[in-house]
Structure 1
Amino acid sequence: MTTVTETAIADAVGPDGTPVLPAPATVGERQTLIERWAERHGVDAAHRLAEAEGLADAVAAEITPDNTLDTYAKSWRVWSRFCTAAGLPEREGSRGALVAFVSWMLREGRQNGTGYAPASASTHLAAAVVGLRERGVQVSGDDQAEARAALEGLAVKLLQAGERRGRGQAVGADLDGLRAVARACPDTLTGDRDKALVLTGFHYASRSQDPAGLLAGDVTLHPRGLVVAVLTGKTKHSVRNAKIGYAEDPEICPVRAYLAYRERLVAEHDLRWADPSTPAFVGIDRWGHVTGGMGPDSVTRAVKRISTRAGVPISWTGHSLRIGLAYTARKKGKDGIAIADQGGWARHSRSMLGYMQRDDGGDDNAAAGLT
């Protein structure tokens, strides 16, 4: 049974910018803690404290999102490739090794021999440190900070050299795009699903994992529209009941689109799809067969495909609906707190404010109208 110790990474920041959960201690650290507790409180109390630490580890593992675990696993593989290439031991996180790691990532770290974008390198650095500490390796905060400073400095050098890496931020969905999407959806179950996926996702600022995690029972009809119980997301703020009202324009009404899709799904396939425990959004193959629930990757691919079919100038990604709600609502004068609550952002979230400012740069600008 493992324990959570003072040497864990309680003050670390995860790849997505949120605090990471403490890492389990090594067997040696656990034994040291038990001995310390035994001296202070007696042997019986020490064993009960150790059992409580084991429970804490189990809870931490249970509530860590799958996408976070996937990121940690991927980043550890990147760290392992670096150690092999550099001839360094895998379980040493020294200052020099971490600085060399970020330099290698920017220079040649990707599988194809090219360098990572600085944002990706930053993610891998944070997650690799998590992986080292989980494996009992002591990584000092100062050494990690120096590696991050080196990464930021090298990223500036890349910009000064005229080299820009990464895809940049996703484009946000807008009302014109929603209308184009609605008109381009064919009169099929897949078309109805696509329309409902995009229109509802826009109105509750969905990430790609949000509709993938919804069950039919999470979307309920009320007199004024739908209530979507969004139970997935990166933070506690994403666990929310998002209210979606009927739109004045029936062509892009998310409520009508969702109800039409679900009615057609039940009518054309099995009545079992009316069960609240079935997925809200289903996968459909090219022959019209329902394949089960959609995953986050299939949602991302669907949004891109749907926007491309509609002729949207720049194809949307799985994050475009989320961005679009923020800046469209801001443009229409919605209160920032109301926007945060609808989209599951922390109030005054920096990412949300950034999404708003994409559209406000010309009109809502401190320099506008001064001369």
Structure 2
Amino acid sequence: MTTALEHQGPDPAADERAALIGRWAQRHGIDAARRLAEAEDLADAVAAEITPDNTVDTYAKSWRVWERFCTATGLPTTEGSRGALVAFVTWMLREGQTSGRGYAPASAGTHLAAAVVGLRQRGHHVSGDDQAAARTALEGLTVKLLKAGERRGRGQAVGADIDGLYAIARSCPPTLAGLRDQALVLTGFHYASRASEPAGLLTGDVTLHPAGMQIAVLTGKTKHSVRNAKIRYSQDPEVCPVRAWTAYRDRLVAEHGEAWAGPSTPAFVGIDRWGRVTGGMVPDSVTRAVKRISQRAEVPLHWTGHSLRIGLASTARKRGRDGIAIADQGGWARHSRSMLGYMQREDGWDDNASAGLT
């Protein structure tokens, strides 16, 4: 009778770890090898602890895509050869989604990178040359799709703008939920928030100052770090993020008690249709809220969870703000390609080689 362990087959990662411990024992003795193994376990635990949840989710989703590909093609999940990886990206563009449709090239690229990580984490070798070959194939196939007139993906999100902020401020009802919505958008715009960032804020992360407010933003797209974004009082109280924040928080405490004033409580809370607080917001609820809020305000192009981030970069650039100051406020690297791309939305009209020629 085959046991469950036998059915699972060998574990390359476990075998590699056992071989490594054996080499340590030969070099340093059994006790030292045991301590080195414990240090490796600690390193693995720390890596897992500091890896952002969205990154973990992406790796898991992409591994499931890799498994579906291997099932569909009859290839083993344990081999990331050049041919297998090229076949993987081809399959993804052709029919990889569960609906039978092809993925957008950007999504295929994400799944390729994450699948390679998954293979290596499981102890399976993937060479850099083989991964590069798959990436080259993906780029070439993407060009062919474009030449054939096929466009996939949602495209870049629309950026928030000042007119939209005014429309939103005027459309929010004078309820706790309305004040929350106003504070969420106005503060988020001014520190270029991702959807995950207001969801992760605690009340203690926001500090009032005579000049405005400071928000300690925990970021974790590529690594965990904290940036301290300063937001000044606006000249116009109607769209002032500091006043919107204080009005929302005062109303929350007045209606639901002093417990919500504690520094460890969520900065932005979910509120149901009956006005009951349901706990802290999560990234998906922030994204849905921004879309809903912009729809209610009848913003011509509905915003997404990334619109506030794009809007800060493009609007600040249009108003002549320094690129380094914009990068520091939004937590971008100072020469971030994504930030420069957002700025180009404005620069591309004025700082343009064809402007004024005729």
8 Å CA contact retained: 2:52, 2:224? no
Match of 2:323 in 1: 336
The reply to whether residue 105 of structure 1 matches residue 106 of structure 2 is no
Match of 2:3 in 1: none
Match of 2:109 in 1: 122
Q: 1:231 aligns with which of 218, 226, 231?
A: 218
Match of 1:166 in 2: 153
What CA RMSD, in Å, does the superposition of the two structures yield over aligned residues?
A: 1.6
Q: Gaps (5+ residues) in structure 2?
A: 1-10
**Structure 2 counterpart SS, 1:272:** helix
**Structure 2 counterpart SS, 1:239:** strand
- In structure 2, C-alpha distance between the alignment counterparts of 1:47 and 1:333, rounded to whole Å: 59
Match of 2:238 in 1: 251
Deviation at 1:333, TM superposition (A): 1.0
Deviation at 1:370, TM superposition (A): 5.1
8 Å CA contact retained: 2:51, 2:223? no
Alignment-mate amino acid for residue 358 of structure 1:
R
Deviation at 1:237, TM superposition (A): 7.9
Deviation at 1:185, TM superposition (A): 0.6
Count of residue pairs brought into register by the alignment: 348
**Structure 2 counterpart SS, 1:357:** helix
8 Å CA contact retained: 1:79, 1:101? yes
After TM superposition, the structure 1 stretch with the greater mean CA deviation from structure 2, 34-43 or 99-108, is 34-43
8 Å CA contact retained: 1:237, 1:346? no
1:188-227 superposed matches below 5 A: 188-227=175-214
1:1-371 superposed matches below 5 A: 26-236=13-223, 239-369=226-356
Alignment-mate amino acid for residue 96 of structure 2:
G
TM-score by length of 1: 0.90
Deviation at 1:367, TM superposition (A): 4.0
Deviation at 1:40, TM superposition (A): 3.8
Alignment-mate amino acid for residue 126 of structure 1:
A
**Structure 1 counterpart SS, 2:219:** coil
- In structure 2, C-alpha distance between the alignment counterparts of 1:176 and 1:111, rounded to whole Å: 40
Deviation at 1:232, TM superposition (A): 3.1
- With over 3 angstroms needed to count, the CA separation of the structure-2 counterparts of 1:359 and 1:119, relative to structure 1, is same
Deviation at 1:100, TM superposition (A): 1.1
Alignment-mate amino acid for residue 73 of structure 1:
A
Alignment-mate amino acid for residue 31 of structure 1:
A
Instruction: Calculate percent identity across the aligned residue pairs.
Output: 80
- In structure 1, C-alpha distance between the alignment counterparts of 2:336 and 2:224, rounded to whole Å: 11
- In structure 2, C-alpha distance between the alignment counterparts of 1:288 and 1:233, rounded to whole Å: 31
Higher relative contact order (CA 8 A, sep 6+): 2
- In structure 2, C-alpha distance between the alignment counterparts of 1:92 and 1:312, rounded to whole Å: 49
- In structure 2, C-alpha distance between the alignment counterparts of 1:222 and 1:46, rounded to whole Å: 54
Deviation at 1:25, TM superposition (A): 7.8
Alignment-mate amino acid for residue 346 of structure 2:
D
Higher helix share: 2
TM-score by length of 2: 0.94
Match of 2:4 in 1: none
Alignment-mate amino acid for residue 315 of structure 2:
T
8 Å CA contact retained: 2:52, 2:223? no
